[in-house]
């Protein structure tokens, strides 16, 4: 493992803690006398006009469409690095987390559909339980420090990154509005220019970010969700350049964005999207099919899908169990992958757009909170037990 990879995997729980504080603060504000100010802030119009370019959105949409594009830029950078130098660099190493991620997305979706198949309006949220929150998941794992096997951290990181990439594919394919041919054409040209610059060994990050900004605007105006632009830019940034004295542009940008993503972008997103009014909440809502579909999908579907997919892949000879891990490790850690939180909330905002769907959004957030909190607690205790049993076996 390279030094850079090791630094990214170094135990740190601060991002997860800040996410919890941000979400809790939003929940408190949304149910306090300050609620009108909280919602007015999110609804505050922000207008950007440069010549003929005119973008007007409220603050909430700037967070969801703008700041989250930077988060997905980081996802693109991480996936590319893992494909070239990390846990996904060879077929045999990549298949185990790839299969796990696919199983962990498919089974929760099937469970959601099982609960909500007779309600076409609610079915729009089918992708909500398919997501995994990488910051929270790795944050809980970091609580174990050196007791957690290094390969378990690599496995979970690769799984979460692939899961995020799967979320991007879902967003690009299923969550788009009326498409603009002109804007899509401009987006294609901007993407082609980015990869042409890569092929010509351009190493200046400013050139990629300038074209990337044009790509973001084009994708935003095209009807495809703007976060897709972030991943495209991430894949275009070169990991290596021919001039050996030049530092890796990808690594420089990744390490530049990483703290902003962990300590600003994701907490701001959580603060902007976690304010659920609970005045009309009742325990009966917990048994609503939408809530059950999401919560059960995260809490049961994720570990079931990941563990079953890994077991079948190993038995079929498609993938090999990483050295030092057992299915006990896989199952315990797969429960942690049920922490959907920010990614699930993000997909919720796309699945149920508009004020007319606010009730479905609030129910979905409640379900995400329930499923994610229980997954974090149960995953922590399951992994604690697994590591204790492993320690006892090693002593014998």
CA distance linking residue 55 with residue 59, whole number of Å: 12
Question: Which tens digits make up the pLDDT trace of 69-125?
Answer: 898 898 888 888 888 887 677 777 789 999 999 999 999 999 999 999 999 889 999
CA distance linking residue 242 with residue 156, whole number of Å: 32
Q: Phi first, then psi: what are they for 48, rounded to 5°?
A: -115, 120
3-state class of 176 per DSSP?
Answer: strand
Q: Phi first, then psi: what are they for 247, rounded to 5°?
A: -70, 160
Tell me the pLDDT band of 68, cut-offs 50, 70 and 90: confident
**Confidence (pLDDT) at 245:** 66
CA distance linking residue 135 with residue 141, whole number of Å: 10
**Confidence (pLDDT) at 166:** 86
Nearest to 66 by CA among 268, 347, 238: 268
Tell me the pLDDT band of 313, cut-offs 50, 70 and 90: very high
Q: Give 384: exposed, middle or buried? Use CB within 10 Å, 0-12, 13-18, 19+.
A: middle
| Rounded mean pLDDT, 9-28 | 76
Residue 330 has pLDDT above 60, yes or no: yes
Question: Which tens digits make up the pLDDT trace of 366-390?
Answer: 999 999 999 999 999 999 999 888 7
Count of beta carbons in the 10 Å neighbourhood of residue 281:
14
| Rounded mean pLDDT, 137-166 | 81
DSSP element (H, E) containing 53: strand 53-58
Question: Which tens digits make up the pLDDT trace of 264-287?
Answer: 998 898 899 888 888 777 888 889
CA distance linking residue 76 with residue 90, whole number of Å: 18
**54 vs 339, which has greater pLDDT?**
339
**Confidence (pLDDT) at 14:** 74
CB 368 within 8 A of CB 298: yes
């Amino acid at each position: 493992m390279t030094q850079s990879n090791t630094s990214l995997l170094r135990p740190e729980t601060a991002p997860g803690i800040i996410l919890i504080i941000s979400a809790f603060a939003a929940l408190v504000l949304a149910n306090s006398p300050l609620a009108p100010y909280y919602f007015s802030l999110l609804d505050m119009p922000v207008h950007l006009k440069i010549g003929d370019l005119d973008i007007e959105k409220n603050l909430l949409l700037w967070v969801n469409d703008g700041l989250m594009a930077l988060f997905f830029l980081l996802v693109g950078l991480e996936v590319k690095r893992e494909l070239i130098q990390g846990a996904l660099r060879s077929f045999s190493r990549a298949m185990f987390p790839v299969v796990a991620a696919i199983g962990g997305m498919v089974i929760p979706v099937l469970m959601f559909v099982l609960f909500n198949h007779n309600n076409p309006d609610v079915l729009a949220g089918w992708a909500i339980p398919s997501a995994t929150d990488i910051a929270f998941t790795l944050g809980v794992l970091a609580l174990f420090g050196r007791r957690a096997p290094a390969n378990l951290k690599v496995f979970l990181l690769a799984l979460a990154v692939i899961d995020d990439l799967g979320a991007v594919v879902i967003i690009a394919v299923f969550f788009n509005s009326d498409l603009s041919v002109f804007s899509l054409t401009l987006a294609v040209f901007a993407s082609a220019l980015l990869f042409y610059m890569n092929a010509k060994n351009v190493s200046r990050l400013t050139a990629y970010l300038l074209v990337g900004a044009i790509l973001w605007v084009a994708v935003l105006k095209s009807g495809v969700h703007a976060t897709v632009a972030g991943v495209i830019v991430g894949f275009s940034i070169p990991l290596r350049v021919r001039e050996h004295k030049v530092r890796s542009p990808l690594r420089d940008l990744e390490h530049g964005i990483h703290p902003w993503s962990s300590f600003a972008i994701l907490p701001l997103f959580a603060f902007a999207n976690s304010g659920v009014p609970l005045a009309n909440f009742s325990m009966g809502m917990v048994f609503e099919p939408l809530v059950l579909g999401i919560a059960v999908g995260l809490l049961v579907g994720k570990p079931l899908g990941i563990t079953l997919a890994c077991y079948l892949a190993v038995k079929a000879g498609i993938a090999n169990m990483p050295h030092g891990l057992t299915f006990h490790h896989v199952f315990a850690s797969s429960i942690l992958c049920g922490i959907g939180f920010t990614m699930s909330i993000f997909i919720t905002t796309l699945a149920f757009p508009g004020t007319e769907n606010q009730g479905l959004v609030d129910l979905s957030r409640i379900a995400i909170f329930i499923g994610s909190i229980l997954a974090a607690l149960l995953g922590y205790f399951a992994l604690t037990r697994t590591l204790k049993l492993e320690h006892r076996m090693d002593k014998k």
